[in-house]
């Protein structure tokens, strides 16, 4: 490990054998990657030849165009949330994806960053004047402090691995929320949090608008991804992956396992704290509940969706998840697009051939019309509720879904039945699955129009849980993650 220098010439020639520092076997198996047939495969090969920083800059520039497309503050807020989540997912990827350390207290580092920044940029300490550090000082100091906190939290990883480490870190996360809620209310504000925090002030301008924070986050995201990519391809990055794959073997190969693990924790914590400072500056206030377990689950979901271990995946997963879930909160119509869109996309991906897909969709439509007609004939009040969403989707499904005038009770029953149907759907095979899919889809639409649309914030959480379960069962390596090489 110590005498490892790649001559620049070797890199330019693209050596035929395995590259320096790449395990021969892994190199071979990744070289055997399958490309899509035809034009798509050519495009894939071409894309792989583009240097990584070009892609990164291009993505950054594309992101920079977004604020020109919209002047809507709420849409910019969605973008800000999405990039925050992307940065967090990238940071979590260090310990979970690369080093294979299950850190369930990660959200506390984010909270630490937010609270740390808040304390040195508000009137909370040393009132009434308060403490107001310059952004250039406060952010690095908070990040470094978080790095040390990361080392402290990672310390148990010397002896604990796997689930035990997960549970200790989870306690750390819970303890952070308890701490900010209860300890020193005069300083940390207890449940009331810290309010009126200074905004960022960079290059002589105070950043007050969402647009400004959009660009701050974009720059930070691009920088983080760039630095982490360099880190990933450095020997530290290789050491992380070695530790993940086989701790014992890597320690035999003189990798300082414990130090490498601590580094993963420290880097991850610093990245999270950085995101936290932006969050605090942009929101102007921080509360303990911002950093509770549901947000941790959100970060994990983003990382898992994109594919743990892949930088691009983590970014993409964070962005997609955040935009999707925020979209549900926005308006019933947009929530409808997302809901029906997700279902259609899943069906298109999962069901082949087209004839079968068409048959199932057609049967669902027909089934709905029949059920609607029958129910209406028996009791007109049972369909009087109508869809609770609005827009053209609502008009379209108006005479299709059954929503009683008082949907709460019937909706609850329908929701439970839907869960049972979904479980049954997973268990049965073959033709029965196709047949069962028809009422399940229809019921899903009814439940959506009757119950879920009316409760967007709960629906958002339910969807999050479902995404986690489905992703883990269907594609544990995520959208962009490569299948792990399993050592047998």
Per CB under 8 A, does 452 bind another protein? yes
Q: Residue from 20, 184, 349, 469 that binds another protein (CB under 8 A)?
A: 469
Task: Kindly provide the b/e burial profile for residues 291-313, where b requires at least 16 CB atoms within 10 angstroms of the residue's own CB.
Answer: bbeebbbbbbbbbbbbbbbbbbb
| CB of 36 or CB of 184, closer to another protein | 184
Angle between helices 210-233 and 73-92 (to 10 degrees): 20
Per CB under 8 A, does 162 bind another protein? yes
Smallest separation (angstroms) from another protein to the CB of 197: 25
Smallest separation (angstroms) from another protein to the CB of 30: 18
Smallest separation (angstroms) from another protein to the CB of 182: 5
The DSSP bridge pattern shows strands 121-122 and 131-132 to be antiparallel
Per CB under 8 A, does 191 bind another protein? no
| CB of 324 or CB of 459, closer to another protein | 459
Per CB under 8 A, does 27 bind another protein? no
**Residues in binding contact with another protein, number by CB under 8 A:** 53
Q: Residue from 294, 336, 380, 429 that binds another protein (CB under 8 A)?
A: 294
Helix (H) / strand (E) element for 59: namely helix 52-69
d(CA 415, CA 346): 20
**Contacts of 242 by beta carbon, 8 Å cutoff, 6+ apart:** 249, 250, 253, 255
**Which DSSP symbol is given to 484?**
P
d(CA 315, CA 269): 17
**Which DSSP symbol is given to 22?**
S
Smallest separation (angstroms) from another protein to the CB of 322: 16
The interface with another protein within residues 50-79 (CB under 8 A) comprises none
CA neighbor of 180 nearest in space, from 112, 89, 226? 112
Smallest separation (angstroms) from another protein to the CB of 470: 8
In the beta sheet, which residues pair with residue 205? Answer: 202
Smallest separation (angstroms) from another protein to the CB of 28: 22
Q: Which range of residues in 39-47, 156-164, 258-266, 269-277 is near another protein by CB under 8 A?
A: 156-164
Per CB under 8 A, does 156 bind another protein? yes
The region, left, alpha or beta by phi > 0 then psi within -120 to 50, assigned to residue 207 is beta
| CB of 284 or CB of 468, closer to another protein | 468
| CB of 201 or CB of 475, closer to another protein | 475
219 contacts 80 by C-beta, under 8 angstroms: no
243 contacts 260 by C-beta, under 8 angstroms: yes
Site map 392..411 versus another protein, x via CB under 8 A: --------------------
**Contacts of 315 by beta carbon, 8 Å cutoff, 6+ apart:** 86, 89, 90, 221, 225, 306
Site map 223..262 versus another protein, x via CB under 8 A: -------------------------x--------------
The interface with another protein within residues 365-394 (CB under 8 A) comprises none
| CB of 121 or CB of 180, closer to another protein | 180
d(CA 65, CA 294): 31
Smallest separation (angstroms) from another protein to the CB of 51: 32
Per CB under 8 A, does 421 bind another protein? no
| CB of 94 or CB of 301, closer to another protein | 301
CA neighbor of 287 nearest in space, from 172, 197, 170? 197
Q: Residue from 171, 191, 234, 374 that binds another protein (CB under 8 A)?
A: 171
Q: Residue from 412, 428, 432, 435 that binds another protein (CB under 8 A)?
A: 412
Smallest separation (angstroms) from another protein to the CB of 239: 20
| DSSP-derived 3-state class of residue 407 | helix
Site map 82..111 versus another protein, x via CB under 8 A: --------------x-----x---------
Range list of H helices, 246-353: 247-252, 257-283, 293-306, 311-330, 332-350
DSSP annotation string for 216-267:
HHHHHHHHHHHHHHHHHHSHHHHHHHHHHH-HHHHHHTT--HHHHHHHHHHH
Per CB under 8 A, does 464 bind another protein? yes
Q: Which range of residues in 122-130, 155-163, 340-348, 397-405 is near another protein by CB under 8 A?
A: 155-163
Cα-based torsion angle of the residue sequence 319, 464, 456, 439 in order, rounded to the nearest 10 degrees: 120
d(CA 432, CA 328): 32
Q: Residue from 58, 348, 472, 485 that binds another protein (CB under 8 A)?
A: 472
| DSSP-derived 3-state class of residue 121 | strand
| CB of 123 or CB of 293, closer to another protein | 293
What does the binding site for another protein look like in residue numbers (CB under 8 A)? 96, 102, 156, 159-160, 162-164, 166-168, 170-172, 174-175, 178-179, 182-183, 248, 293-294, 297, 300-301, 304, 308, 412, 415-416, 419, 423, 426-427, 451-452, 455, 458-459, 461-462, 464-469, 472-473, 476, 484, 486
């Amino acid at each position: 490990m110590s005498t490892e220098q790649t001559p620049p010439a070797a890199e330019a020639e693209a050596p035929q054998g395995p590259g320096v520092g790449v395990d021969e076997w892994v190199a071979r198996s990744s070289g055997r990657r399958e490309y899509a047939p035809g034009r798509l495969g050519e495009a894939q090969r071409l894309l792989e030849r583009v240097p990584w920083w070009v892609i990164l800059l291009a993505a950054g520039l594309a992101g920079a165009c977004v604020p020109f497309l919209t002047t809507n503050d709420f849409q910019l807020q969605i973008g800000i949330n999405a990039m925050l989540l992307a940065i967090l997912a990238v940071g979590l990827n260090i310990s979970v994806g690369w080093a294979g350390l299950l850190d369930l207290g990660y959200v506390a580092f984010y909270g630490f960053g937010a609270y740390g920044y808040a304390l040195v940029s508000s009137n909370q300490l040393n009132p009434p004047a308060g403490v107001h550090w310059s952004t250039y000082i406060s952010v690095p100091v908070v990040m470094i402090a978080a790095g040390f906190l990361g080392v402290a939290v990672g310390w148990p990883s010397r002896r604990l691995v796997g689930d035990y480490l997960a549970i200790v870190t989870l306690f750390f996360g819970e303890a952070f929320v308890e701490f900010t809620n209860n300890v020193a209310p005069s300083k940390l504000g207890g449940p009331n949090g810290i309010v009126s925090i200074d905004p960022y002030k960079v290059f002589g301008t105070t950043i007050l608008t969402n647009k400004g924070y959009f660009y701050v986050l974009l720059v930070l995201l691009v920088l983080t991804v760039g630095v982490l990519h360099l880190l990933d391809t450095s020997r530290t990055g290789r050491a992380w992956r070695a530790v993940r794959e086989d701790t014992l073997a890597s320690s035999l190969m003189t990798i300082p396992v414990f130090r490498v693990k601590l580094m993963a924790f420290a880097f991850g914590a610093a990245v999270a704290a950085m995101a936290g400072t932006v969050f605090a500056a942009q929101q102007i206030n921080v509360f303990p509940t911002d950093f509770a377990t549901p947000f941790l689950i959100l970060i994990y979901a983003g990382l898992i969706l994109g594919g743990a271990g892949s930088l691009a995946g983590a970014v993409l997963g964070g962005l997609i998840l955040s935009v999707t879930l925020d979209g549900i909160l926005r308006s019933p119509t947009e929530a409808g697009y997302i809901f029906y869109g997700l279902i259609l996309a899943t069906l298109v991906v999962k069901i082949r051939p087209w004839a079968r897909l068409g048959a199932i969709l057609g049967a669902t439509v027909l089934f709905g019309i029949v059920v609607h007609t029958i129910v209406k004939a028996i009791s007109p009040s049972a369909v009087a509720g109508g869809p609770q969403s609005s827009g053209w989707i609502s008009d379209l499904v108006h005479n299709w879904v059954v929503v009683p005038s008082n949907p709460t009770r019937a909706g609850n029953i329908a929701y439970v039945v839907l869960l049972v149907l979904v479980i049954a759907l997973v268990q049965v095979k073959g033709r029965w699955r196709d047949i069962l899919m028809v009422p399940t889809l229809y019921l899903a639409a009814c439940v959506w129009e009757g119950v879920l649309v009316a409760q967007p914030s709960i629906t958002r959480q339910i969807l999050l849980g479902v995404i986690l379960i489905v992703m883990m069962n269907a594609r544990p390596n995520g959208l962009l993650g490569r299948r792990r090489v399993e050592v047998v």
